[in-house]
Amino acid sequence: MSYINRGVPGIDQYLPLNEPDIGAAYSKETHPQNAELPELFKPIIIRGVKFNNRIFVSPMCQYSSDDGHATDWHFVHIGGYATRGAGGICMEATAVVPEGRISPQDAGLWTDSQIAPLKRIVTFAHAHGTKIGVQLAHAGRKASTIAPWVRTTTARTTTAPKYTADKEDGGWPDEVYGPSDIPFSEQFPQPKALTEEQIEVLLDAFAKAAERCKEIGFDFIELHGAHGYLLHEFVSPLSNVRTDQYGGSLENRLRFPLQVVERVRGVWDKPLFVRISAADWAEGPEQDPSTGEWKQWGIEQSKVYVGELKKLGVDLIDCSSGGNWVQQKFTLGPGYQVPYAEALKKAHPDLPIGAVGMITEPEQAESYLREGKADVVFLARELLRNPHWPIIAAEKLGAAIKPANQYERAFIQVILPARQ
């Protein structure tokens, strides 16, 4: 019998083969404690793609790209999650056109030269059995801004007097576009309203970016329809005051985002997710009770929106909120955005829903899935603090989950079979 340290087949370097995949549960035959797996560690199959567990890495901007190209920072950052047990990784907001970036250092997928560095990352993730996707995006009126730590360092040692990245900062303040010419705030660029011809160009750009995703080998695409960026700007009456076919009624405000989905779905046959902001968090009601006029974006319109997305073949809704109203008011707390996911799940029980928002504890995350409020959880800052969160969560919830071969010695209690 051979005892060779086997490598992953079909790649151009030696990487130890993990069996089962990192983040997957051991069989109940070898590990009786897995006879009843926690919901977090039950696989989920979406459009034929199997995710080993239901812990997903949220897209998190790194402001570290070189003219839209991924760098070694991204390889190490994303590669770390690929080796630490997440069921799925969604790479950061990746602009489909240069002027759609949030900052000059944001990721992009508008040209073929951006394919190779992303393909390297995807190949590494796949070598470790991890599914990986990308969030295609356009920042809209919130484009051409400086990176957050340039604007204000967390230690408060430096604070810039502006948000806008001017030309000398590498920005494009005169080429910022939104549905209407309403700036996000006085500190942000003054946007121009997109013409219908420019909208057609953007629809092509989203489709071409999706074609590049096929060549890269991503397992899923997420479209960024949240946080006050372009798709969110179109659906909200606070940022969209157009009088043509793209503004006014709810049907018209949904038109451009739905066209984007339709164009991407037309070239992409793998799982397609959409991240939405389910509410604007502005003052006052979502709808005027006397006139029926929609005053701001909220959960009732979101339910309609999700229904239309489902008709077009969207496979999962990544439910967030806020980001489109500079004076937004909300109360932070554990799971503060989960009620929106729960409302969408009740309205569309047959559609997978992802929950976000200060999800930090394994028991907390497990409860949302067990109670039917969501089907997966997307974690961001907690994974920045603790990339090994999935394996630690398994230990707390009593499941035996595969760590990377190289890290097994740190997680003996997680992988030992329970005593018979």
Q: Label each residue of 73-102 as H, E or C.
A: HHHHHHHHHHCCCCCEEEEEEEECCHHHCC
What are residue 52's phi and psi, to 5 degrees? Answer: -65, -25
Using CA atoms, how far apart are residues 401 and 394, in angstroms rounded to an integer? Answer: 6
Rounded Cα distance, 342 and 345, in Å: 5
Which residues, listed in sequence order, are joined to residue 192 by a DSSP beta bridge? 177
Determine the Cα–Cα distance for residues 47 and 248; give it in Å rounded to an integer. 34
Strand partners, 355: 319, 377
| 3-state per-residue secondary structure call for 309-334 | HHHCCCCEEEEECCCCCCCCCCCCCC
Any idea what DSSP says for residue 400?
A: -
**SS3 state at 24:** coil
Helix (H) or strand (E) holding 222: strand 220-225
**Residue (of 269, 339, 340, 330) closest to 306 by Cα position:** 340
245: enclosing H helix or E strand:
none
In the residue annotation, 229 being an active-site residue is answered as yes
* φ, ψ of residue 156 in degrees (nearest 5): 60, 30
* Per annotation, catalytic residue among 26, 163, 229, 368: 229
Structural element, H or E, at residue 356 = none
**Paired residues of 294 in beta bridges:** 287
**Buried-state track 310-319, b at ≥16 Cβ within 10 A, e below 16:** eebbbbbbbb
User: Residue 125: which of 84, 182, 94, 162 has the closest Cα?
Assistant: 84
SS3 174: helix
CA 187, chain centre distance (Å) = 26
CB atoms within 10 A of CB 396: 13
CA distance 22 to 303: 35
φ, ψ at 131 (rounded to 5°): -80, 145
Residues with a catalytic annotation lie at: 229
